C-alpha cells in the first residue's frame, strides 16, 4: 500500500491531518515546521511547494487540508498525464468535503476521497462524468480485472460515446469484462465476430491478445494469457531470445502486453540470457523438470532435445505445461533459440 501524504497549513488543518493519519493508516503528515510535533509520522516543511514536488516525484497519494486554489496553483507545474500523476484530494479545514481533484480514476483519487470522507464523517465530492452518470469507468475496471490498458487515450472516446448514449461495441471472447459489466450491459453491443465489429461505424472495446489494424477509437485491453515456451543453449544471449519472441509475436498478430511468462526446462532455469530476457519483458520465468515434460505430446518433437535433455520437446512442452491451454504457435527457431506460444485455458 502506498504511503499517503497529508499536508496542512494551519493549526486547525494540522489537527484534522492528524485525525486523518490515524483513520487512514499508512499515512504521514507534512506540516509547517512550527506546527509539526517531534514524532516520526510528522515531517516538517518550510514551503508547501516542496511537499507538492515530492508527492509527484515519488508518485505518492496526496491529501491537502487547505484551499483548493492553493493546491491547483501548487501542483500545476508538475502535471504530466493521467497515466502517471498521483491522486490528489482536497479537504476543507472543517472536514465537511473531500474533493477528488486529480487522477480520480487511474490514480484512485475518487476512492481516496471516499475513504477520507468516511474517516471525517464528511461528504466525498466526485466530479468525473462516468461516476456522476453511473457509467462504467473502464480505466478503473480494467486494472481490477488484471487487464492492461494498451491505448489509454482511447478511454476518453469510449466514455464520451457512453455519455452521449451512442453504441459501444464490445468483443470479449473470454468474457471477464462482459461479466463485470453485467449490470451495465445495456450500454454495450456485445460482438463475437471481431472483423465485423471493426467494420461497424462505432467505437469499441477489445479484450484479448490479438493484433489488428485498429481504428483509432477502439480501446484495447490486454489479458496476460500467453506463455512463451523457450528452448536455448545455456550461453544464449538475452537479445536473441527477445528478438525472436518479438518477431514471432508481430508475425502471428499477438500482443506482447498479453505475455504472462516465459517457460523452459529446469536445466535452463539459470541460463543468464533467459533470466535477463524475462526481466526485460517484465514477466516471470517458469521452469519444469524433465520428468514433468517428457510425456507431454507435442506436434514438433526434437531428437536433439531427446538426446541432450531427455525430453522430446522443450519449448512446446513447457508452453503447454505452463499455460494449461492449447498451442497457438508451434515451434519456431533462430540460430540458438526455439520458441512456442500457448494460451491459458
Do 211 and 247 lie in a common domain? Answer: no
133 inside domain = no
Q: What is the pLDDT of residue 223?
A: 92
Do 245 and 314 lie in a common domain? Answer: yes
Q: Percentage of the chain surpassing pLDDT 90?
A: 72
Domain boundary among 92, 127, 162: 127
Q: What is the pLDDT of residue 105?
A: 81
CATH code, 256? 3.30.420.180
Do 297 and 311 lie in a common domain? Answer: yes
CA triplet 342, 343, 344: central angle to 5 degrees? 125
Do 9 and 121 lie in a common domain? Answer: yes
Q: What is the pLDDT of residue 301?
A: 86
CATH code, 24? 3.40.50.11220
Residue 123, φ and ψ in degrees, nearest 5? -120, 125
Cell of 96: 465537511
Mean pLDDT of 157-161: 90
* Residues in a beta bridge with 8: 65
Do 209 and 275 lie in a common domain? Answer: no
Label residue 134 by pLDDT band (50, 70, 90).
confident
Domain boundary among 208, 223, 238: 223
Range of the domain at 147: 138-223
Q: What is the pLDDT of residue 95?
A: 94
90 inside domain = yes
Do 150 and 242 lie in a common domain? Answer: no
Mean pLDDT of 54-74: 95
Domain boundary among 60, 92, 127: 127
Please choose, from the candidates 186, 107, 106, the residue with its C-alpha nearest in 3D space to the C-alpha of residue 149.
Answer: 106
Q: Is 80 exceeded by the pLDDT of residue 19? A: yes
Q: Is 70 exceeded by the pLDDT of residue 298? A: yes
157 inside domain = yes
Q: What is the pLDDT of residue 1?
A: 59
Please choose, from the candidates 213, 208, 226, the residue with its C-alpha nearest in 3D space to the C-alpha of residue 171.
Answer: 208
Do 142 and 89 lie in a common domain? Answer: no
Do 146 and 63 lie in a common domain? Answer: no
Per the structure, the count of domains in the chain is: 3
132 inside domain = no
315 inside domain = yes
Burial 233-248 (b: 16+ CB within 10 A, else e): eeebbbebbbebbeeb
Amino acid at each position: 500500500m502506498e504511503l499517503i501524504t497529508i499536508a496542512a497549513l494551519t493549526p486547525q488543518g494540522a489537527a484534522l491531518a492528524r485525525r486523518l493519519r490515524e483513520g487512514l493508516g499508512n499515512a504521514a503528515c507534512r506540516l509547517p515546521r512550527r506546527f509539526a510535533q517531534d514524532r516520526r509520522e510528522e515531517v516538517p516543511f518550510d514551503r508547501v511547494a516542496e511537499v507538492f514536488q515530492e508527492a509527484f516525484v515519488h508518485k505518492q497519494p496526496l491529501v491537502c487540508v487547505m484551499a483548493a486554489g492553493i493546491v491547483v496553483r501548487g501542483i500545476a507545474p508538475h502535471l504530466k498525464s493521467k497515466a502517471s500523476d498521483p491522486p490528489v484530494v482536497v479537504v476543507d479545514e472543517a472536514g465537511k468535503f473531500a474533493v477528488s481533484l486529480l487522477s480520480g480514476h487511474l490514480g484512485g483519487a475518487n476512492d481516496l476521497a471516499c475513504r477520507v470522507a468516511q474517516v471525517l464523517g464528511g461528504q466525498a465530492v466526485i466530479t468525473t462524468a462516468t461516476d456522476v452518470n453511473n457509467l462504467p469507468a473502464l480505466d478503473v475496471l480494467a486494472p481490477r480485472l488484471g487487464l492492461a490498458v494498451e491505448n489509454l487515450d482511447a478511454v476518453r472516446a469510449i466514455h464520451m460515446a457512453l455519455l452521449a448514449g451512442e453504441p459501444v461495441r464490445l468483443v470479449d471472447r473470454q468474457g471477464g469484462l462482459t461479466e463485470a459489466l453485467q449490470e451495465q450491459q445495456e450500454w454495450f453491443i456485445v460482438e463475437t465476430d471481431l472483423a465485423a465489429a471493426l467494420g461497424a461505424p462505432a467505437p469499441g472495446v477489445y479484450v484479448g491478445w490479438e493484433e489488428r489494424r485498429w481504428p483509432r477509437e477502439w480501446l484495447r485491453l490486454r489479458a496476460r494469457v500467453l506463455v512463451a515456451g523457450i528452448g536455448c543453449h545455456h550461453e544464449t544471449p538475452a537479445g536473441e531470445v527477445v528478438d525472436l519472441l518479438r518477431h514471432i509475436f508481430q508475425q502471428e498478430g499477438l500482443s506482447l502486453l498479453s505475455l504472462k511468462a516465459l517457460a523452459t526446462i529446469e536445466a535452463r532455469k539459470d541460463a543468464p540470457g533467459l533470466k535477463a530476457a524475462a526481466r526485460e519483458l517484465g514477466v516471470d520465468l517458469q521452469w519444469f523438470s524433465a520428468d514433468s515434460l517428457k510425456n507431454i505430446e507435442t506436434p514438433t518433437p526434437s531428437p536433439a532435445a531427446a538426446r541432450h535433455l531427455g525430453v522430446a520437446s522443450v519449448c512446446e512442452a513447457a508452453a503447454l505445461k505452463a499455460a494449461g491451454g492449447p498451442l497457438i504457435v508451434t515451434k519456431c527457431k533462430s540460430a540458438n533459440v526455439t520458441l512456442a506460444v500457448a494460451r491459458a485455458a
